[in-house]
Amino acid sequence: MAADQSPHPRLFSLEGKTAVVTGGSRGIGAMIARGLLDAGASVVISSRKQSELDDARIALSAFGDVHAIRADVSTLEGVEKLAAEVAAHFPTLNILVNNAGATWGMPLDDFSEHAWDKVMDTNVKGVFFLTQRLLPNLRAGATADDPSRA
């Protein structure tokens, strides 16, 4: 049986669901967005770089309903901007993939406070506050039988 002829097409269906993927313009984030689109979800991707975001939106739109919002989740201002734009267009949200992340490739002896702050602001603070800001939308998209996922 061909891969696109699953005997259980509804088992993995995300038809009617909305997902947000941070860092969705490239790499693993773009792959996650593609998988969600393939399953039938509407997807919002976010990224810091507008040109990468535009390119990803164009490429991913061949697979489904995709929207792009420029945001830097390493700052509270960026988190609030993203959450506000998502809420304005998608009052119900079913899936939040906090994929955006930062690394700092330098030796431990040379690791600076600035580097530490960038990693922690993106990978911890941004994840926490974006999830918090989108809780009303995630709750609106949830049911007892089908909870939202973050």
Query: 77: how many CB neighbours lie within 10 A of its CB?
Result: 10
Residue range 18-140 forms a domain whose CATH class is: alpha beta
| β-sheet with 66-70: strand ranges across | 66-70, 42-47, 18-22, 95-97
Q: What is the pLDDT of residue 150?
A: 80
pLDDT digits (tens, 9 = 90+) for 36-68: 999 999 999 999 999 999 999 999 999 999 999
Least confident of 47-51, 71-75, 103-107, 119-123: 103-107
What is the sign of the dihedral through the CA atoms of 38, 43, 48 and 51? positive
* DSSP-derived secondary structure for 60-128: HGGGS-EEEEE--TTSHHHHHHHHHHHHHH-SS--EEE--------S-GGG--HHHHHHHHIIIIIHHH
Q: CA 70 to CA 49: how far, in whole Å?
A: 7
* Element holding 48 (H helix, E strand): none
Where along the chain do its domains lie?
18-140
* Element holding 26 (H helix, E strand): none
Q: Tell me what the mean pLDDT of segment 108-124 comes to.
A: 93
Res 114 pLDDT > 50 = yes
Least confident of 54-68, 71-85, 132-146: 132-146
